[in-house]
């Protein structure tokens, strides 16, 4: 099981809290613009890079529209991670981004 928040809720949370953002878009989309300090692991690389994530940390999962992040959240939750899916993704996110 995992939680979900809206992109708007994420924007508000980031004003007050440092979150572990995991961006599961491909590398090209990530370099076009991402949330500052987000880590990028494209969804198709997630199974092989699982060991680079810390099960002691909660992760907030984002993609462009919310579909890939939902699949990534299901996968990571099944592997024992504490994850929150961002509904609407970067397409609905209006907070600060970096390139």
Report the sign of the C-alpha dihedral through residues 62, 64, 68, 70, in that order. Answer: positive
Dist. CA 73–CA 61, nearest whole Å:
7
> Which residue among the candidates 21, 24, 35, 63 is catalytic per the annotation?
63
> How far apart are the two ends of the chain, measured CA to CA in Å?
32
**CA-CA distance, 72 to 78, in Å (whole number)?**
10
Known catalytic residue at 35: no
Tokens of 66: 């919310």
* Residues with catalytic roles: 63
């Amino acid at each position: 099981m995992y939680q979900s928040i809206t992109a708007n809720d994420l924007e508000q949370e980031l004003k007050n809290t440092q979150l572990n953002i995991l961006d599961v878009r491909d590398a090209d989309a990530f370099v076009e613009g991402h949330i500052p300090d987000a880590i990028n692991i494209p969804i198709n690389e997630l199974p092989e890079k699982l060991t680079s994530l810390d099960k002691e940390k909660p992760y907030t999962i984002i993609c462009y529209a919310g579909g890939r992040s939902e699949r990534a959240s299901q996968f990571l939750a099944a592997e024992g991670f504490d994850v929150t899916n961002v509904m609407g993704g970067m397409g609905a996110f209006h907070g600060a981004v970096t390139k």
